[in-house]
Chain A
Amino acid sequence: MPRILKFSLWAGFAFLYAPILVLIAYSFNASRRGSVWGGFSTHWYGELFRDEQILNAAWISIKVAVYSATGATLLGLLAAVAMVRFGKFRGRTLFSGLMSAPLVMPEVIVGISLLLLFISAEQLIGWPAGRGILTITIAHITFCTAFVLVVLQPRMATMDRSLEEASRDLGAGPVTTFVLVTLPVIAPAIVSGWLLAFILSFDDLVIASFTAGPGSTTLPMLIFSKVKIAVSPDINALATLIILVAALGLVAAMLLTRNRNNQQ
């Protein structure tokens, strides 16, 4: 590899990881003042688990993320089947456009538009009554589905069709074939998609801020309200834990897809 490429590889990774490593180091700093190293301590982690507000927000975020990831995975799976298996159906361009637009749409636009929809719908038909976990979940399913589709579509497009054909030749219907043959083959990609959707939902600040109601403050909303005021060591500890969860999720997702590839 040319030297310049090697350099940009290491410089790139250094740039991506330096802030994260600094953050993790600070979370073990005994001193309250961030800039002074007061010795190694896990004090801030203990503090975290005694903070009722943080625990509540974390619980809300976990619930929303589980519902959203599940909903987005179901919709993303159906959309992947349509995109990969239905060939050129009418409205395909609009369909694929609708499915991929949330990948780039600025979050403030998604957030404001969904809130205005919820409020207008409440005035017109009385649903959804107020805003909370339900409305955040609907909003998160909407933008997470696009990411699940990005994970699922290539996996479905490259799977071995002869397995499905064999199942159909042996007399199984399309639904039976899908459940017994297709699903197990693409299962690792489904789990990866679910994990990605979970993380995206769990991390979202902007869309949740628009669609949340009183009493449904998510963890990123709470973190944001704290860091706007000051850098605090307990937030460093919390951020480190969130990075750890994301890292575990990613490694799980990667191992799943890798095992799959090795089997082939």
Chain B
Amino acid sequence: MSGQILHAIQSRLGKTLVLLPPYLWMFLFFLLPFGFVLKISFSEAIIASPPFAPLFEYDPDEGILNAVFRVFNYQYLLEDSLYINAYLGSIKIATVSTLICLLIGYPFALAIARAPKSRQPLLLVALMLPFWTSLLIRVYAWIGILRQDGVLNNILLWVGVIDEPLILLQTTFATYVGVVYAYLPFMVLPLYAVLEKQDLTLLEASRDLGASPARSFIDVTLPLSIPGIISGSMLVFIPVIGEFVIPTLLSGESTLMIGRVLWTEFFNNRDWPVASAVAIIMLVVLIIPIIVFQNQQSKQGA
């Protein structure tokens, strides 16, 4: 009996020792930092190092701790149309890009999933290579293609479709190209994962019962791939909202995105409290998509 108790305690202790390091790490370096962002978003920017006023001040005469929460950073964000437009711009770019990624990515993923089993590993490697290559470099590569004396304009001129070079770089078009290009693998991989697992006999049954290929696709393949559609869409939508590199290198002044605004506030204006408030509102915007993503992940894990 006591041996069993000892064993139970040992097992409990062992589990705790395994759980504690990752739990503690993610608590300290992922969850806790949001508290500091929230705190500093209520602070005031000052010229000092670090450039924000302390929120709590100890008053030695009175012996009390004073806390001053300033909401003017949030007021400022709501009143200045720059920020609202940047949030709306990010939401629009992220939504449209997610849809384009889905439209391009779905047949792409289906084609890989239905390719001969022996060829699938090679196709997967080919799909994952861009994902393993720096986003910065992949976005940078588009500059060489889209700029006025770039590859695309040269080809179009040579073919004779256009008479003078088009302005492609630093436009909303360039932003969409960059975002769809950078995030397409994030859409295709989860779609492939669900499509590859699909039971093809269901499709055969549907065809045997007289359904057209299109009908079987809509009634069988598509509904069964919804988990992949949700995961893929969230893996694109959420990070694109905060995207910084793509709008900086490809958009110029054409598109306002909130990730770039945060960066500018932080690094160029050194207004850390406003940058923090921008981050907090971004998190609020993203909370529902993140919960949807998490639910999907835990369903797939179960």
A interface residues with partner B (beta carbon < 8 Å): 1-2, 4-6, 8-9, 12-13, 15-20, 22-23, 26, 33-35, 74-76, 78-79, 81-83, 86, 89, 91, 93, 95-110, 112-114, 116-117, 119-120, 123, 138-139, 141-142, 145, 153, 174-175, 196, 199, 202-203, 205-206, 209-210, 220, 223-224, 227-228, 231, 235-236, 239, 242-243, 246-247, 249-251, 254, 258
Contact of A224 among B15, B26, B136 (CB under 8 A): B136
What are 8 residue pairs bridging A and B, where the CB atoms are less than 8 Å apart in the complex?
Answer: A20-B141, A104-B235, A106-B242, A107-B242, A113-B33, A139-B29, A141-B25, A145-B26
Prevailing SS type, chain A contact patch: helix
Contact between A117 and B107, CB atoms less than 8 A apart: no
Known contacts A101-B294, A247-B129; is-contact A108 B36 (Cβ 8 Å): no
The docked-state distance in angstroms from the alpha carbon of A79 to that of B19 is 7
Q: Specify which of B33, B121, B245, B249 lies most central, judged by the most chain A CB atoms within 10 Å of its CB.
A: B33
Contact between B244 and A174, CB atoms less than 8 A apart: no
- Inter-chain contacts of A105 with B (CB < 8 A): 238-239, 242, 290
Contact of B30 among A89, A91, A98, A153 (CB under 8 A): A98
Contact of A246 among B104, B129, B144 (CB under 8 A): B129
Query: B102 on the interface (CB 8 Å rule)?
Result: no
The docked-state distance in angstroms from the alpha carbon of A117 to that of B32 is 8
A-B residue pair count with CB separations less than 8 angstroms: 251
Contact of B242 among A109, A209, A220 (CB under 8 A): A109
Give the contact stretch, choosing among B58-66, B67-75, B201-209, B276-284.
B276-284
The docked-state distance in angstroms from the alpha carbon of A18 to that of B144 is 11
**C-beta contact mask, B228-264 vs A, less than 8 Å → 1, else 0?**
0000001100110111110011000000000100110
- Inter-chain contacts of A242 with B (CB < 8 A): 133-134, 137
- Inter-chain contacts of A239 with B (CB < 8 A): 134, 137, 140-141
Contact between A203 and B22, CB atoms less than 8 A apart: no
CB-nearest residue of chain B relative to A203? B134
Contact between A16 and B184, CB atoms less than 8 A apart: yes
